Amino acid sequence: DTAVSQTPKYLVTQMGNDKSIKCEQNLGHDTMYWYKQDSKKFLKIMFSYNNKELIINETVPNRFSPKSPDKAHLNLHINSLELGDSAVYFCASSQDGGFYYGYTFGSGTRLTVV
C-alpha cells in the first residue's frame, strides 16, 4: 500500500486549460501539504490543510486552489494554466506538523504546460 499517492504522475496540457491533481494518504496523518519543486530542485510549500482548515497559504496565485473533501484527501486544482506553472508538484502529509517525524511525500506529478 502506498502511503501517499498522487495522480497523475505526468500531466501535459496547453496554456489556459484547467487541471486537477489528486492526493490521498492512508497514514492517518492530520495535516496534508502541496509543494512545488522548480527546475532547480527547490521545494517550496504552497498549501497545508489540517482538519479541513487551511493553515498555511503562501503567496501563490489564486489560480491554484486546494480542495480537501476529507482528512485523507487533498486535491490541487489549477485554473488558466501558464507556462511558468510547469514544475513537479508533491503532495505530503505529517502527523506533528513535520517538526520531528517529518513529512511523507508522494512520488510527484510532473506538470508540463505547452
Partner 1 sequence: TQLLEQSPQFLSIQEGENLTVYCNSSSVFSSLQWYRQEPGEGPVLLVTVVTGGEVKKLKRLTFQFGDARKDSSLHITAAQPGDTGLYLCAANTGNQFYFGTGTSLTVIP
Chain contacts with partner 1 (rule: CB under 8 A): 4, 40-45, 90, 92, 97-108
Q: Hey, which residues does 45 pair with through a beta bridge? A: 35
Return the number of the residue (26 or 80) whose C-beta is nearest partner 1. Answer: 26
Return the number of the residue (42 or 61) whose C-beta is nearest partner 1. Answer: 42
Minimum Å gap between C-beta 16 and partner 1 is 28
Cα separation of 3 and 83, whole Å? Answer: 31
Contacts for 74 with CB less than 8 Å, ≥ 6 apart? 23, 32, 33, 34, 47, 49, 66, 67, 68, 91
Minimum Å gap between C-beta 90 and partner 1 is 5
Return the number of the residue (15 or 55) whose C-beta is nearest partner 1. Answer: 55
Minimum Å gap between C-beta 88 and partner 1 is 9
Minimum Å gap between C-beta 5 and partner 1 is 11
Exposure letters 37-73 (e unless 16+ CB within 10 A, then b): eeeeeeeebbbbbbeeeeeeeeebeeebebebeebee
Return the number of the residue (13 or 50) whose C-beta is nearest partner 1. Answer: 50
